[in-house]
């Protein structure tokens, strides 16, 4: 492994752990009386302000967008990103942290399913196997084998599934935006505009009058800075050193880390079948990403072989 690839993997692993810790801290805040709406309002507001400060100091060109794209970015932020954050933290508030994150990790599977249904991509054996494994894994993660557990977690399961749908939507629309702009620009405007609805449909600047304790503010600011801006930055840096497919696979460390951190600090545990379901979901994602990487590499190999066969040495 080269030094660059080592740096890439370390960056993505660090991002996954920071994201995982963010979910556990959020769950701790909810136990102390803070609501998911409080968390998403602070996360969107302070996370985007932090990025704006960084851009203003180091990379002002990242602020630039074309006027014709403003409405698209407003929709991406005000609707899609806002719902991504709300559904994610609401799911965490109602079920185990690891289970909520695993449900959101169904997003790549939903993207693949969407591609097959609406983009006419071929349903390969790999995709079919991934869909099957993710379905079985999801059934086990939510406790479908235990009707009592399923009934107890119904609201959290629905919010978790909603978070997967919202995140898949963000992935599809965000990818479209990143054809025109840097990932940093897309993240900034999505996060900035996602703060708007939470200052309209929730008391504006509620965090200024809520009387949060210092420990609560520490948790909230961790989620905004170390749980949002920094891990996304590490993830983007990691992609520069390793393929995006490998970064996506490495990021599946997040739900594993979340389960471990939640166990250490909150005493949360998953039943054996839920753990098995989590393994199946992660396996499905890994298979899907590996196949995607193979599909990306195939044209490159063909071009390389063609170039080699046409070289002067072969004539």
How confident is residue 309, by pLDDT bands cut at 50, 70 and 90?
Answer: very low
The ranges assigned to domains in the chain are: 3-293
| Residue with more model confidence, 153 or 47 | 47
Model confidence pLDDT, tens digit, residues 31-47: 999 999 999 999 999 99
pLDDT at residue 91 tops 50: yes
Region 38-66: mean pLDDT is 95
pLDDT at residue 296 tops 60: no
Q: What is the pLDDT of residue 142?
A: 78
Region 166-189: mean pLDDT is 91
Region 109-114: mean pLDDT is 83
Q: What percent of the chain has pLDDT over 70?
A: 90
How confident is residue 113, by pLDDT bands cut at 50, 70 and 90?
Answer: confident
Region 206-232: mean pLDDT is 94
Q: What is the pLDDT of residue 306?
A: 46
| Residue with more model confidence, 113 or 300 | 113
pLDDT at residue 14 tops 50: yes
Q: What is the pLDDT of residue 304?
A: 47
Q: What is the pLDDT of residue 56?
A: 95
Q: What percent of the chain has pLDDT over 90?
A: 53
Q: What is the number of other CB atoms lying within 10 angstroms of the CB of residue 54? A: 15
Residue 255: which of 163, 174, 186 has the closest Cα? 163
Region 240-248: mean pLDDT is 77
Q: What is the pLDDT of residue 145?
A: 74
Residue 218: which of 36, 51, 28 has the closest Cα? 28
Torsion angles phi and psi, residue 107, rounded to 5:
-55, -45
* Cα angle, residue 20 at apex, residues 114 and 233 outer, rounded to 5°: 75
* Cα angle, residue 90 at apex, residues 88 and 93 outer, rounded to 5°: 115
Q: What is the pLDDT of residue 294?
A: 62
**pLDDT averaged over every residue in the chain:** 86
């Amino acid at each position: 492994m080269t030094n660059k690839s080592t740096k890439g993997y370390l960056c993505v692993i660090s991002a996954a752990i920071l994201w995982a810790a963010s979910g556990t801290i959020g769950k701790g805040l909810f136990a102390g009386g803070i609501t998911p709406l409080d968390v998403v309002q602070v996360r969107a507001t302070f996370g985007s302000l932090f990025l704006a400060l960084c851009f203003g100091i180091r990379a002002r060109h990242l602020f630039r967008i074309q006027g014709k794209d403003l409405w698209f970015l407003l929709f991406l932020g005000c609707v899609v990103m806002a719902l991504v954050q709300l559904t994610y933290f609401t799911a965490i508030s109602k079920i185990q942290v690891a289970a909520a994150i695993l449900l959101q990790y169904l997003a790549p599977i939903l993207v693949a399913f969407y591609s097959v249904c609406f983009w006419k991509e071929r349903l390969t054996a790999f995709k079919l196997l991934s869909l099957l494994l993710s379905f079985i894994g999801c059934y086990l993660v939510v406790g479908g084998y235990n009707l009592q557990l399923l009934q107890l977690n119904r609201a959290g399961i629905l919010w978790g599934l909603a978070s997967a749908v919202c995140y898949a939507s963000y992935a599809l629309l965000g990818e479209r935006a990143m054809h025109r702009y840097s990932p940093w620009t897309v993240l900034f405007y999505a996060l900035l505009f996602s703060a708007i609805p939470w200052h309209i449909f929730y008391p504006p600047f509620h965090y200024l009058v809520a009387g949060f304790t210092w420990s609560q503010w520490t948790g909230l600011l961790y989620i905004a800075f170390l749980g949002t801006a920094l891990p996304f930055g590490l993830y983007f840096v990691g992609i520069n050193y390793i393929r995006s497919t490998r970064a996506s696979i490495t990021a599946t460390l997040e739900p594993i880390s979340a389960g471990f951190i939640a166990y250490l600090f909150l005493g949360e545990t998953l039943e054996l079948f839920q753990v098995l379901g989590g393994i199946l979901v992660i396996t499905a994602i890994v298979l899907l990403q590996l196949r995607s990487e193979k599909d990306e590499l195939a044209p490159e190999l063909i071009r390389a072989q063609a170039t080699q066969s046409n070289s002067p040495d072969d004539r």
